[in-house]
Structure 1
């Protein structure tokens, strides 16, 4: 199939794009448009409980996290946004259904609370769980976040406490059991091997890669063939689903786009 000429930036304000996004069913979010003109989306209700995003600098990982999280929030989900740089997701501050944490102590506390929420949801009946809002756990800079949590726990851990940080344990539990609790992780980067394990594709039904090395590609998308040539286009990468790689132009949503859309969805300029 021949490739289409995609714009170098696919803005949320592009004609008909917002309408296309809002027409998606609950639990489905648009990642972008492939170079063959197909809509590339993630469906949390189907085969894909979690999303892994891994890019080199300028590859658009923060934008993908922001776009996907915002779309699920628009559908009624709640979100826990972990922002260790403290400035990557300022859009999340002040939104009523979003918990935003930046410093390591706040991230630790939030993830421990996530573990409690997972246990609570596991005790709900099917009817009660269906009525509970979907919970999106958006983790930026996962590798440095995991290292920071480990150092934090080593500093404050008592001798009778577990060796592994309960925050890291809670995130790992969300990855393995989140589907049954309507909890979904959108992860940026590669966290510690103890979280990802030996086969990341077993945990993440959708993997978004951009400007990564051949070694990283092989680790995160071993079934998708050799690493493709890196694109110079901002926001252009590959979405791997079902072992196939789709070259895709990701949606660009600014902080202002997200805040206006979520706080005033009837505003035609949002």
Structure 2
């Protein structure tokens, strides 16, 4: 699918025909945005990319991408766990019954322990061929670098001598990354997976990497097969490079506000929502 015009400005959810294009996406597939060549850039959680990594400089729009992608999967019937350490970046999530929103470190820790139990339950269902009736689960983690560091420190405050050194909350996230596809659990993570926290191969688990305003070193680490980093860093709102299959597509991502998401998901039949 292609758009006739190259996107030069913010790509609103209300752009002509865009909402219809989003709603026509197959289950498990979401529209990231439109490339500067007019190509629809999508992510397919089932056959291509079970997890998505978003990495931007401050103000680069990572929160917008997490919100847009999570909303699209929710529209398709998924449930979501939204980890929002700033507590205000994803207020839309508090208004939806199929979303669990957690902000403080204790709440995020407990939610990830719950994720571990859910992952175990889903894996058992997969063995029994009963997983098809279970909603897809999206785990959206904002500000992952700081969040994972806070989880590690939080665990140290009360772990006993016999407890594992690594926070069980961090282990739960690792397990979701490694085995989530088979359990219909998918991680959309904002940040740079640190080898000291998630292991040396963590970034390789993301077949879709969305980058904006990153340094050449970060580009080389997260997208080494896509060639050198672009010489020009776009300051335009919502402009990213989406790296898939070793190719980088300069893309204008979809812009959805908190109100857009809540209205669309609570009243999807209203064309003005």
TM-score scaled to structure 1, two decimals? 0.96
Q: Find the aligned partners of 1:222 and 1:210 in 2 and give their Cα distance.
A: 15
Aligned equivalent of 2:147: 145
Equivalent residue for 2:237, pick from 234, 245, 270: 234
Instruction: State the distance in 2 between where 1:240 and 1:54 align.
Output: 11
Distance 1:14 1:269 in 2: 12
State the secondary structure of the residue aligned to 1:48. Answer: coil
1:257 aligns to 2:236 (yes or no): no
Q: Which residue of 2 aligns with 1:23?
A: 24
Note the C-alpha offset of 1:94. Answer: 2.9
> How is 1:155-174 mapped onto 2 (pairs within 5 angstroms)?
155-174=157-176
Question: Taking structure 1 as reference, are residues 213 and 141 closer, same or farther at Cα in structure 2, changes over 3 Å only?
Answer: same
The SS at the match of 1:175 is helix
Q: Please give the secondary structure, in 2, of the residue aligned with 1:115.
A: helix
Question: Mapping of 1:93-242 within 5 angstroms?
Answer: 93-124=94-125, 125=127, 127-228=129-230, 229-242=232-245
Q: Secondary structure, in 3 states, of the residue corresponding to 2:157? A: helix
TM-fit CA distance, 1:196: 4.2
- CA–CA distance in structure 2, aligned partners of residues 73 and 264 of structure 1: 13
Asked if the contact 1:54–1:61 (Cα under 8 Å) also holds between the matched residues in 2, the reply is: yes
Alignment of 1:82 with 2:80, yes or no, is no
3-state SS of 2:210 partner: strand
Say which SS state the counterpart of residue 174 (structure 1) adopts: helix
The 3-state SS of whatever aligns with 1:239 is: strand
Gaps (5+ residues) in structure 2?
Answer: none
**When the two structures are superposed, what TM-score results if normalisation uses the length of structure 2?**
0.95
1:57 positional shift? 1.6
In 2: Cα distance, 1:236 partner to 1:126 partner: 43
| Superposed displacement of residue 199, structure 1 | 3.8
Corresponding position of 1:11: 12
Aligned to 1:244: 247
Distance, in Å, in 2 between the alignment partners of 1:152 and 1:248 is 38
Q: How many Å apart are 1:159 and its aligned residue?
A: 1.6
Alignment check: 8 A CA contact 1:29 1:71 kept: yes
Q: Is the 8 A contact 1:201 1:221 kept in 2?
A: no
Range with bigger deviation, 122-131 or 46-55: 122-131
The answer on whether the counterparts of 1:147 and 1:192 sit within 8 Å (CA) in structure 2 is: no
SS in 1 for 2:95: coil
Moved over 4 A (4+): none
- Report how many residues are paired: 268
